Amino acid sequence: MSNFKQSCLILNKPSGLTSNEALKKVKKKLNIKKAGFSGTLDPLASGILIIFFNKATKLCSYFLNSDKCYDATIRLGQISTTGDLDGDIVNQSNDILNLKESDLNFLEEKFKGRIKQVPPMFSALKHNGIPLYKYARDGITIERQSREVVIHDIKLDLINANHIAMSVCCSKGTYIRTLAEQLGEDIGSGALLSKLVRTKINNISLSDSISLDEFLSKTINELKDNYIVNVDKLFNDVKSYIVSNEDKFKIQNGNKLKVNHQPCEIIKIYDADKSFLGIGKISDNFELLPKKILV
């Protein structure tokens, strides 16, 4: 645990702050140079931001590719340049909608499963090595291809005539701002995202997190004892495999091992001293293949 070699922090990022700004505050507090996070949250959004330190940053991509869940508030009758309240309002309707529960049930069924989305211009996706949002700020629109994402579950509830509460669990690459716009288009009123909270990444829940204000108020020892955890703790639903000291060096050098274990897509690898080495995969040929080795 010393020097945060293989550790991470489950942060509840506040609204009004970019993910990078939150990361900088954490790095400054802990006096850490190397850190990264899994999945950018827009400034408007709050919720889970897993921050990885030093060697643990190798595992960022695993959680970037994980399923995620969100709670959101959708405002009907307004369209903005960014799809949320941070953008300029470009269209507004004052018509009072008469949505019924059956309308929301229809939309839930329509948007559940595999759907197509066109990534928004105000996003971190890159074109010719430059993030799309930089083009958007210069008034340039880049043609984007639609892509398929999966909505595992979606629940819509009417708050009032102009606001809908949405809870959604989805695959990687899903833009909740775009989903709000798609719903607004189907309703016929237009819509934007007025609130967004990321409540889950894989099996990590918001209840596991610490707010940024609380984090900044704690001493380093308090944080180490209660909030900064070894990164393997994030994989609490993943099976483990212990390798001998001899095989440890093979794994560290990226070599595969013949093992007596059922095939699985992801497995935690430990050495004989129960030190976490990283994650791997066991193939149909009963071979342990190292994927992300930290040591």
pLDDT at 225 (0 to 100) = 92
Measured distance CA(280)–CA(292) in Å, rounded: 7
Q: What is the largest CA-CA distance in the chain?
A: 72
Token pair 């967004």 in the structure block, residue: 196
220 CB-near residues (< 8 Å, 6+ apart): 29, 30
> What are the structure tokens assigned to 25, written together?
């505050």
pLDDT tens string, the chain, 295 residues long: the values are: 447 889 999 999 999 999 999 999 999 999 999 999 988 999 999 999 999 999 999 999 889 889 999 999 999 999 999 999 999 999 998 776 789 999 999 999 999 999 999 999 888 888 898 988 899 888 899 999 999 999 999 999 999 989 999 999 999 999 999 999 999 999 999 999 999 999 999 999 999 999 999 999 999 999 999 999 999 999 988 999 999 988 999 999 999 999 988 999 999 999 999 999 999 999 999 999 999 999 8
Phi/psi at 187 (5° precision): -70, -30
261 CB-near residues (< 8 Å, 6+ apart): 241, 267, 282, 286, 288
290 CB-near residues (< 8 Å, 6+ apart): 251, 252, 254, 255, 256, 269, 278, 280
Measured distance CA(243)–CA(238) in Å, rounded: 16
Measured distance CA(112)–CA(109) in Å, rounded: 5
Is 42 an active-site residue? yes
Q: CATH 2.30.130.10 in the chain: give the residue spans.
A: 238-293
56 CB-near residues (< 8 Å, 6+ apart): 5, 6, 7, 8, 231, 294
pLDDT at 94 (0 to 100) = 79
Alpha helices in the chain (DSSP H): 19-30, 60-64, 101-111, 132-137, 176-187, 212-217, 220-226, 245-252
pLDDT at 270 (0 to 100) = 95
pLDDT at 232 (0 to 100) = 94
> What are the structure tokens assigned to 85, written together?
């309240």
E-state strands within the chain? 7-13, 35-37, 46-53, 68-76, 78-80, 89-92, 113-117, 126-127, 130-131, 147-160, 163-170, 191-201, 204-205, 210-211, 228-230, 240-242, 257-258, 264-270, 276-282, 287-293
Q: CATH 3.30.2350.10 in the chain: give the residue spans.
A: 2-65+203-233, 68-201
pLDDT at 4 (0 to 100) = 84
- From edge to edge, which strands make up the β-sheet containing 257-258? 240-242, 264-270, 276-282, 287-293, 257-258
108, 98 Cβ separation under 8 angstroms: no
Would you tell me which CATH number, out of the four given (3.30.2350.10, 3.40.50.9100, 3.30.540.10, 3.40.225.10), belongs to the domain 2-65+203-233? 3.30.2350.10
Neighbours of 26 (CB within 10 A): 22
Helix, strand, or coil here: 232? helix
pLDDT at 2 (0 to 100) = 47
235 CB-near residues (< 8 Å, 6+ apart): 266, 268, 279
Measured distance CA(205)–CA(274) in Å, rounded: 26
Q: Does the domain at residues 68-201 carry the CATH identifier 3.30.2350.10?
A: yes
Active-site pick, 42, 84, 232, 271: 42
DSSP state of 42: P
Could you say which architecture CATH assigns to the domain 238-293?
Roll (2.30)
